[in-house]
Amino acid sequence: MTTRTVEIGSSVGLHARPAALFVQAVTASGIAITIARPGGKPAPANSILGVMALGAKHGETVELASEAEGADAVLDSLVDLLKQDLDAEEG
């Protein structure tokens, strides 16, 4: 199992637009990934409802995990994405 821990950079946390951008990136990766708060139950990272239900706020940490082959590079790119203030980005 490959895991990464990341601090949420979006000022609104993983809500609405930041969650949608994250879920789109997970879906585009084509691999199964879970997301969880420390000590919490993992949710499928490709589920907008699952991601938003975490209630992860700015500055809180989440753990990404995958058992897929080649997950290292994908998880690294998702960590980079979550570190950004996705609500402030235009696009």
Q: Phi and psi (nearest 5°) for 28?
A: -65, -25
Catalytic annotation present for 58: no
Active site residue: 9, 15, 54, 62, which one? Answer: 15
Q: Which residues contact 76 (CB under 8 A, 6 or more apart)?
A: 4
Residue 5 has φ and ψ, to the nearest 5°, of -115, 135
Residues with catalytic annotation? 15
